[in-house]
A and B are shown apart, each in its own frame.
Chain A
Amino acid sequence: MVKHHVSTTVNGDPVEFLCDPDQTLLDVLRDVLQLTGSKEGCASGDCGACSVMLDDRLVCSCLVLAPEAAGRSVETIEGMADGEELHPLQEKFLEHAALQCGICTPGILIAARALLDRNPDPSETEVRYWLAGNLCRCTGYDKIVRAVMHAAADIRADLRGH
């Protein structure tokens, strides 16, 4: 099978890779580009541990074929912090102990940022339904939902301040 040559952007950097036509974006991120922050929990789009942004769309990277990334922009957990400065969601997840084992955390952070980018003032119910595609088996979601609400409040305060 002839490999595809793909040019894309990952976390703002130009990236080229070779992949099989049926290889998933998740496999390429993890195995070819060594970006192992995105996790595989199911490979069927049910757990959300592999969540990334493809342009402006939140996707399960296990359901995206790697060649589909050509000419587009991929954002992963590795690109979430701005240098030494953590994103408010990352800060609040630490402060509110919103992770136990941490395996679902990258996917949940990416999904939560996608929510706050669209709606910086979500209700608890909106947060819960938005994150319904991200399984967490440790926390019971309580501290995750609280951390997202607190981060949203911080982001709103920041927006008002500017």
Chain B
Amino acid sequence: MATALKRDEIQPALKWIGTRPVRPDGVDKVTGRARFGADLSLPGMLVGKVLRSPHAHARIRSIDVSKALALPGVKAVVSRDDFQDMASEFVPAGEMLINYRDMVRNIMAREKVLYEGHAVAAVAATSDKIAKQALKLIEVDYEILPHVIDVVEAMERGAPLLHEDLITAGVEPPPTEPSNVAKRVEFAIGDTAAGFAAADIVIEREFTTKPVHQGYIETHACLASWSEDGQAELWCTTQGQFIVRAHCAKLLGMDISRLRVTPSEIGGGFGGKTVVYLEPLALALSRKSRHPVKMIMSREEIFKASGPTSGAHVWVKIGATRDGRITAGEAVLKYQAGAFQGSPVQPGCMAAFAPYDLEHVKVVGYDVVTNRPKVAAYRAPGAPISEFAVESVVDEIAGELGIDPIELRLKNAAKEGTHAAYGPRFGPIGLIATLEAAKAHAHYQAPLGPNQGRGVASGFWFNIGGETSVTININEDGTVTVVEGTPDIGGSRASVCLMAAEALGVDYEKVRTIIGDTSSLGFSFLTGGSRATFSNGVAVKQAADAVIKEVCARAARIWEIPEDAVKWEDGRAVPAGSNAGEFEPLSLADIARMAGKTGGPIAGHAHLNAQGAAPSFATHLADVEVDKETGRVTVLRYTVIQDAGRAVHPSYVEGQYQGGAVQGIGWALNEEYIYGPDGRLQNAGFLDYRMPVASDVPMIDTVIVEVPNPRHPYGVRGVGETPIVPPMAAIANAVAAATGIRFTELPMSPPKVLKALDEANGAGNGRG
């Protein structure tokens, strides 16, 4: 059984990791000084605006921009003709694959518009007003086509086709007719028929979830400036400046070295800022107008034209023996991809049964295009949907068998050595530790009142590593500057400073970390996949080791002894032993001061592909009260228990747990995209797309379990994504306990809950 090891058992006497200092970028963020995407301006700057499709599906017969171009103050207009068509080619971006043929069509419609809000043209003008006026002068001739919004309807024969040449991949033999099903995937181990035959109880259910938006408060924004010599600078809010550079250089047909992308502070992303929307348009407009061009999306545009995550239809079947051993699990997942293929159905399949040690599993997934905005990554993409369904059925089985839901999970929990249905064998993992901690938590024993219920759910996410560059510069006074390549979305500069301070043995206050632009550092993959602290930690340790080797060599030169006669101890160079001679220890500051005379500037670099990322498991407890008059579900108490591997800055680890849980509460209870029969989004604003506000939620208790990742220098696993996986099931299970009604459709919004309560004739004698 995995147990949480004490910090000192892993790495004795860590001085900085695990402490909670003020983050280095903190003061700028409480004084308004921090500069986000929309906060930069340049002389001669123009305003860029996008004309968007009012139709869910239409063929573009023609686009006439002549009247817009003739308007005084309009400096450039771009449309489909300004972007080269691209070959079909899949490249990784975030945790999803991107096809440039699709991307060039998503940033600017070509043959057809595929969703309301699809970009059709963009203008750059001297003022906001003139730009808006110019949009009205662009004449687009549309041939309106039938559309399809719902995932199940989109899969039906005869459904309107988004792409007339789309043949389902992953099916043998390949279908002869095109459809809206882009891909079929399957993950299976064992023999589920045999597994179900051995079961005493089998439950199967169908679930529906709605697309939900990442809901970052900062809108997409960028500022592009193209020079006459074909070089360009781009300032933008993004989770990955190097990914933006790669996409934009490709879409604009330029050498990568000619484009310098500087990431602004980022006002939330959650996966949604791993792709490009405005950036290539701003660059194209700047290239055409020879002016800097600033573009900002409105909130309405964000809802209509940037990626939410998939809505889905899920079927789950689970069998178990009377004593609570799960004998088999099957699921079929149908995920909306939006207008272009690439839903997170594959990770959804892989994650579905990952918390369980099962012999027989079969999961089939379908990636389905619909007339909606193309989905983008959202925190643990795909997993919250499939695990909501599985964790709901597991809860129902526990109820039917009369077994405590934590005990049932403990009987079946994945552990070190478990062969996951999606392929690998798990190393040391913390699921059982989170379940034990949940069972022992005061929350689990607390009494409940009338119309109240308690729910439990576990969750899993893979976590990734990937390409990472870090530079550590030792300044002339011995202070330390670290350059990392991943935007700081929630305190990672503080984590990097802590790990650098730990590795070098210097004071946290002497270390400052900045985020490099794309021309100041080697390639780094984006902030996503819960990889930033994990990957940067690997790179920081390697770069710090290079620094230590160098400063020891400098001390050896000063002392005139061999390099291997010097060691680095507690932030100082000391003679390695009595044979090396008697010398006063040299601090980093001492050595830095003399650097000019001992060989020049001191720095350490690391450029690597970080391996050894390890999954993070969680168990959540939720108490709810259901108002029988209104159908409102109130979350009364919530506890997140998750394995962090190692919490570098525990406050920001807790923050990830709390923030993910509350996003999940929104997903469970209120958030949804609502479309009319005309294929238009009816709630494209924060008033009608109801994200949780402070008065909607209680304090979110957290327990950080630490089962160190043996393949990271500090035991880090990555924590950002798992917290959004369990909430939907934890709350649905709590609602079931409170009402006796099993909700299989999200969100469990008041009208839906009230209807179900009325249908149950007010019977509230729950099982909870």
Contact = CB atoms under 8 A, between A and B. Distances in A.
A15 interface: no
B699 A145 contact: yes
Interface residues of A, number: 59
A100 interface: yes
A30 B38 CA distance: 9
B31 A78 contact: yes
A36 B686 contact: no
A137 B31 contact: no
B580 interface: no
A36 B658 contact: no
B160 interface: no
Given A42-B686, A102-B267, A103-B217, A97 B693 contact: no
B217 A142 contact: no
B655 A97 contact: yes
A86 B649 CA distance: 23
A138 interface: yes
A142 B296 CA distance: 30
A141 interface: yes
A34 B41 CA distance: 9
Interface string A121-136: 0001101110111111
Contacts of B687: 44, 46
Nearest to B39: A36
B216 interface: yes
Contacts of A145: 694, 699
Interface in A101-115: 101-106, 109
B661 interface: yes
Provide the main secondary structure of the chain A interface.
loop
A40 B219 contact: yes
Interface in B624-661: 649, 651-652, 654-656, 658-661
Contacts of B267: 39, 101-104
A38 interface: yes
Nearest to B658: A140
A43 interface: yes
B693 A39 contact: no
Contacts of B652: 97, 100
B101 interface: no
A30 B216 CA distance: 20
A146 B655 CA distance: 12
A10 to B, nearest CB: 13
A55 to B, nearest CB: 20
A41 B32 contact: no
Contacts of A34: 41
Contacts of B693: 131-135, 141
B266 interface: yes
Nearest to B36: A103
A42 B504 CA distance: 44
Given A46-B687, A103-B36, A127-B694, A80 B31 contact: yes
Contact of B491 (A77, A93, A100): A100
Contact of A96 (B490, B491, B651): B651
- Which residue of B22, B38, B655 has the most chain A CB atoms within 10 A of its CB atom? B655
Contacts of A95: 22
B26 interface: yes
Interface string A72-105: 0000111011000010001001111101111111
Nearest to A87: B30
Given A77-B31, A138-B268, A138-B490, A100 B299 contact: no
Contact of B32 (A37, A137, A142): A37
Interface in B251-275: 265-270
Contacts of A131: 693-695
Contacts of B659: 100, 137-140
Nearest to B28: A102
Interface in B483-514: 489-491
A137 to B, nearest CB: 5
A152 interface: no
Q: Interface centre among A39, A105, A138, by most B CB within 10 Å? A: A138
A94 B36 contact: no
Interface in A26-64: 30-31, 34-44, 46-47, 49
A105 B299 contact: no
A160 to B, nearest CB: 25
Question: Most A CB atoms within 10 A — which of B27, B30, B31?
Answer: B30
Nearest to B298: A43
A31 B39 CA distance: 9
B747 interface: no
Contact of A94 (B23, B35, B268): B23
Contacts of B699: 124, 142, 145-146
Given A127-B694, A128-B695, A99 B29 contact: yes
A81 B28 CA distance: 11
Interface in B16-34: 20, 22-23, 25-27, 29-34
Contact of A109 (B30, B38, B662): B30
A144 interface: yes
Interface in B183-234: 214-219
Interface of B: 20, 22-23, 25-27, 29-36, 38-39, 41, 129, 214-219, 265-270, 296, 298-299, 489-491, 649, 651-652, 654-656, 658-663, 685-687, 691-697, 699-700
6 contacts: A101-B266, A103-B265, A129-B694, A135-B691, A140-B661, A141-B697
Q: Closest 6 CB pairs between A and B?
A: A37-B32, A103-B267, A102-B29, A140-B662, A140-B658, A97-B651
Given A104-B217, A132-B695, 14 more contacts: A39-B217, A39-B267, A76-B32, A80-B32, A90-B30, A90-B31, A100-B489, A101-B489, A109-B30, A129-B695, A134-B693, A135-B215, A137-B268, A141-B694
